Amino acid sequence: MNPLVLSDADYKTAFERISQLALEYVASVSERPTFPKITGTETEALFAKPLPEQGLGSGALDDLGEVMASVRVTGPRFFGYVLGSGEPIGAAADLLVSVLNQNVTAWRSSPSAVTIERVVVNWLAEAIGCTGFTGSLTGGGSSANLMGLAMAREARLPANECGARPGTIYASEQIHMSIPKAIALLGIGRENLRLIPCDDNFRIRVDFLRASMERDVRAGLTPIAIVGSAGTVSTGSIDPLVELAEIARESGAWFHVDGAYGALAAIAEPAKFAGLDRADSLSLDPHKWLYQPLDCGCLLYRDAEAARRAFSHTGDYAKSLVNDPVEGFAFFEESMELSRRFRALKLWLSLRYHGLANFREAIRNDLAHAQLLAGLITKQPELALLAPVPLSAVCFRYRARGDADSDCDALNQEILQRVVRRGKVFLSNATIHGRFALRACIVNHRTTPDDIAQVVSEVLAVGRECLA
């Protein structure tokens, strides 16, 4: 018998212990500190151990408690970055995903997984008002943005057959770092990314965009794509998507929307996202605003042929021998990935378990919580709201001695570090008009109004402590 094969009893012990730990974690997630009381040296001492030559057996499971005690907890007072709260029904599905170990390459490799992923992608498109779009699940928004821009390049300045030629890409100066990264990876060249200034609401200035494109065309350059944001990472601002779509149509540029943070909020507030359905490609992240466990991103597009132009390089070894459109379908013809995890199962189970109406309500709660927080900040003379709150990201700062414009970047940096270490709430930061801001981003189905109030009380307590 292969030594890696265990008895049914041994598997049962391992699965039961892990399920028990998962249940304990879910039951206690609201009480756990948002950041563990542990230092870098202590984590090294706990986990940086030699690889054992001989197995520890079920003793290996004993250390899982330490792992859990040393995680940064995504409980109801976690408001950092843009990170969904991890819906446990989706998490339970993920265990089954690993056990089933499906490789979601093509229908022939996994009939149910491929079909479910195609169904779930259609559901997501419909839910945000983009019926008829198709696409695939990705590791996250960064890969979805990379794939969207690879499609744009193949559509406008094909490089796969002819080699790369210079072209330009336009986005606002608030764009997420995954866009310059994608442009660099695609060999388009960071120097060909035009970062267009924004208005006071952090939305791209379309007059500057037009002027920039005209200048480039006069210089003989080809505009490849306009990238709009449906929720910028710092403030949640939504670019004027209808106008961007129109400029893209007039100029022949591809229109990609980075909706990794915000697009799923169209489920609750479709009017804010007018023009989303005019994108050629659109990224969104169920592991952000559909609360799914990592990883679960998605790229939607209106023309599957454009995806095939970018990603189909099938050699004989993977070529489908059937003509049936369902049985002959292969994700690797439309994606940069070949081996792919069954990401759709958690989404399929979680969406069917709760229903779209409950997700819509959860997103509305997040939007309302963000307004609540903005209101509490505005009422506090020691705090200053630094940006409008169109979605669920709230940027603010503690102001020393009541002076909003005094230079208190260093003070707020100190406050952020102390707040995080205290473990009651978790915030991250942003730069707003060159100033250091505390930032709370609420994409969290566990959060209550009390949790929101704790953001204010913690920042006030720590701010006063720093000044004392």
Ligand X SMILES: Cc1ncc(COP(=O)(O)O)c(C=O)c1O
Residues within the interface to ligand X (CB under 6 A): 81-82, 140-142, 145, 176, 178, 231, 233, 258, 260-261, 285, 297
Q: Under 8 Å CB-to-CB from 298, ≥6 apart: which residues? A: 121, 124, 135, 136, 137, 138, 144, 283, 284, 285, 286
* In the complex, least distance from residue 466 CB atom to ligand X, rounded to whole angstroms: 28
Q: Which CB, 258 or 458, lies closer to ligand X?
A: 258
* In the complex, least distance from residue 285 CB atom to ligand X, rounded to whole angstroms: 5
The three-class DSSP label of residue 238 is strand
* In the complex, least distance from residue 268 CB atom to ligand X, rounded to whole angstroms: 18
Q: Which CB, 76 or 141, lies closer to ligand X?
A: 141
* In the complex, least distance from residue 283 CB atom to ligand X, rounded to whole angstroms: 7
CA–CA distance, 382 with 401 (Å, rounded to integer): 7
Q: Which CB, 289 or 359, lies closer to ligand X?
A: 289
Q: Which CB, 285 or 334, lies closer to ligand X?
A: 285
User: Is 247:278 a contact under the CB 8 Å cutoff?
Assistant: no
6 CB neighbour count, 10 Å cutoff: 14
CA–CA distance, 431 with 412 (Å, rounded to integer): 12
Q: Which CB, 17 or 72, lies closer to ligand X?
A: 72
Amino acid at 138: T
* In the complex, least distance from residue 172 CB atom to ligand X, rounded to whole angstroms: 11
Q: Which CB, 157 or 244, lies closer to ligand X?
A: 244
**Cα 94 to Cα 78, 100, 135, 190, 436, distances in angstroms:** 22, 10, 21, 37, 38
* In the complex, least distance from residue 366 CB atom to ligand X, rounded to whole angstroms: 15
User: Is 127:356 a contact under the CB 8 Å cutoff?
Assistant: yes
User: Is 301:133 a contact under the CB 8 Å cutoff?
Assistant: yes
CA–CA distance, 7 with 430 (Å, rounded to integer): 52
User: Is 464:437 a contact under the CB 8 Å cutoff?
Assistant: no
Q: Which CB, 76 or 231, lies closer to ligand X?
A: 231
* In the complex, least distance from residue 176 CB atom to ligand X, rounded to whole angstroms: 3
> Tokens representing 224?
């490849």
* In the complex, least distance from residue 460 CB atom to ligand X, rounded to whole angstroms: 28
17 CB neighbour count, 10 Å cutoff: 14
* In the complex, least distance from residue 315 CB atom to ligand X, rounded to whole angstroms: 29
User: Is 305:298 a contact under the CB 8 Å cutoff?
Assistant: no
Contacts 24+ apart (CB under 8 A), 241-244: 241/273, 241/274, 241/275, 241/276, 241/278, 241/279, 242/274, 242/275, 242/278, 243/206, 243/275, 244/204, 244/206, 244/209, 244/275
* In the complex, least distance from residue 169 CB atom to ligand X, rounded to whole angstroms: 15
Q: Which CB, 251 or 444, lies closer to ligand X?
A: 444
Q: Which CB, 140 or 240, lies closer to ligand X?
A: 140
Q: Which CB, 216 or 285, lies closer to ligand X?
A: 285
Strand extents, DSSP E, 365-452: 383-385, 393-398, 428-432, 435-441
4 CB neighbour count, 10 Å cutoff: 6
Q: What is the dihedral of CA 315, 316, 318, 321, to 10 degrees?
A: 130
